[in-house]
Amino acid sequence: MRNPSLGLYIHIPWCVQKCPYCDFNSHGLKSSLPENEYVAHLLDDLAIDAARVKGREITSIFIGGGTPSLFSAESIATLLDGVKQRVALSERAEITLEANPGTVEAGRFDGYAQAGVNRISMGIQSFQNHHLKALGRIHDTDQASRAITLAKAAPLNSFNVDLMHGLPDQSISNALDDLDRAIAMSPRHLSWYQLTIEPNTPFYSKPPELPDDDILWEIQSQGHKRLKAAGFEQYEISGYSQAGFQCQHNLNYWRFGDYLGIGCGAHGKITDINSGEIVRTVKVKHPRGYMDIARPYLDTSSTVEKEDLAFEFFMNRFRLVEPCPKQDFTDFTGQTLSSQELAELSKAREQGLIEESELHWQVTAKGRRYLNSLLSAFV
Ligand SMILES: C[S@@+](CC[C@H](N)C(=O)[O-])C[C@H]1O[C@@H](n2cnc3c(N)ncnc32)[C@H](O)[C@@H]1O
Ligand code: SF4
């Protein structure tokens, strides 16, 4: 086995208010933000995790949420300085911070950049006020455009726009119009998600009227063409970027890389190439429990079962458009494929779900569309 790349995910669990479609571990703010206290906990949490990755360099950081842009530039500077004191951080590391257009004012992005952030991911969702309202967003179209203009003016390497489609009552032309407006802002990266209705959300208990499957399919295929024409390459199911601007942190997840996860409910995955074990960690989910000094930060830690490794590897790897080196499977899982699994891959090739060469597997557009059936071979 060889060590895969190592990322660091940092979770900030608060938002101004909860959006009715969102099932992320985030809480609407009811009182003041315990910013300093939380940063101190994050750094203590990291100090413990650092022992798991001694001697390894972190190549990307993603500060996600929730709404990390609720935190001041000073807090983010304290956080990133503290990270550098506890783990080895590559000088070229991609450092992303998620921002909500309703929480940023002039100067904010310059402050984040000074703190070390070099990529902003902006949760826009739509450029149309009636959709923003239906989605319970705290910002309107003007604020969305203004936040993007501010981010573009800051000394960052890249910025991403999160956009959703398949919104309540959305027509094909309406979704494409949103996409055109996003493209017109020339982001380096665009995450284009189809709205999904998640259990335990207000949209689940009171579902809005969503476009039917034929409309969704047209939105996707026409939208894909528009993105391509505008110079965006699809490199993952929902991930599009200009050449060279893929999100390195997310690429590492999908290439079955390792990551530390600090903060409320954060997940980690660490490989020990000596024992051949892959351990998954989950931190205490609720902010109150996480910040309770009488409790450890770690909620659960479990070793991935050998028989689950093929499924886990391909579930991540087959989201990516790029070819997968066959050697990565052995290097990153310590396993070889069983004859039954190899037969399943041959069958998938005959069905046009993957292409195969001597050294690589590569999922096809059809394979990405029927990903669940492709993966069922490894369950
Ligand atoms: C963790 S959120 C963080 C961004 C930031 N909190 C915001 O919303 O502005 C990441 C992205 O996931 C997407 N997302 C969240 N819930 C979703 C859902 N139910 N279906 C599809 N995409 C979703 C949104 O585009 C969102 O910007
Ligand atoms: S702002 Fe983002 S993380 Fe917060 S509730 Fe809305 S979608 Fe979820």
What is the tens place of the pLDDT at every residue in 52-62? Answer: 999 899 999 99
Q: In the chain, what are the helix, strand and coil shares in percent, each to the nearest 5? A: 40, 25, 35
In percent, how much of the chain has pLDDT > 70? 100
Closest approach atom of ligand 2 to CA 136: 6
The predicted pLDDT at position 33 comes to: 95
Q: How high is the mean pLDDT of the chain?
A: 96
Q: What's the whole-number mean pLDDT along residues 346-357? A: 95
In percent, how much of the chain has pLDDT > 90? 94
Taking each continuous run of H as one helix and of E as one strand, the counts in the chain are 15, 17
**Cα(63)–Cα(113) distance, rounded to whole angstroms?**
13
Q: What's the whole-number mean pLDDT along residues 284-310? A: 96
pLDDT, tens only, 18-39 = 999 999 999 999 889 999 999 9
Domains of the chain and any CATH numbers: 6-252 (3.20.20.70), 323-379 (no CATH)
Cα(36) to centroid of ligand 2, in Å? 22
The predicted pLDDT at position 2 comes to: 94
Rg of the chain over all Cα atoms, to the nearest angstrom: 21
The predicted pLDDT at position 214 comes to: 97
Q: Which of 231, 224, 246 is nearest to 179 (CA)?
A: 224
Ligand 1 binding pocket mutation candidate from 11, 19, 22, 165 (most atoms within 8 A of CB): 22
| pTM listed for this prediction | 0.97
Residues, the chain, total? 379
Ligand 1: residues whose CB is within 6 Å? 21-22, 24, 64-65, 67, 98, 100, 123, 125, 162, 164, 193, 195-196, 198
- Structure tokens belonging to residue 258: 């390792």
The predicted pLDDT at position 123 comes to: 97
- Is residue 172 scored above 90 in pLDDT? yes
CA distances from 137 to 120, 144, 293, 325 (A): 19, 11, 34, 41
- Is residue 129 scored above 90 in pLDDT? yes
- Structure tokens belonging to residue 89: 């951080």
Helix axes 108-115, 73-86, angle to 10 degrees: 10
Ramachandran region of residue 186, left (φ > 0), alpha (ψ -120 to 50) or beta? left
pLDDT, tens only, 281-293 = 999 999 999 999 9
Q: Would you say the CB of residue 121 lies under 6 angstroms from ligand 2?
A: no
**Cα(299)–Cα(281) distance, rounded to whole angstroms?**
8
pLDDT, tens only, 333-348 = 999 999 989 999 999 9
Nearest CA to ligand 1 atom 1: 65
Nearest CA to ligand 1 atom 9: 123
Cβ within 8 Å of residue 296, ≥6 positions away: 284
Q: How confident is the model at residue 377 (pLDDT cuts 50, 70, 90)?
A: confident
The predicted pLDDT at position 147 comes to: 95
The predicted pLDDT at position 104 comes to: 87
**Cα(253)–Cα(257) distance, rounded to whole angstroms?**
5
- Structure tokens belonging to residue 153: 């003016």
Tell me the β-bridge partners of 58: 6, 89
The predicted pLDDT at position 375 comes to: 92
The predicted pLDDT at position 378 comes to: 84
**Cα(123)–Cα(326) distance, rounded to whole angstroms?**
35
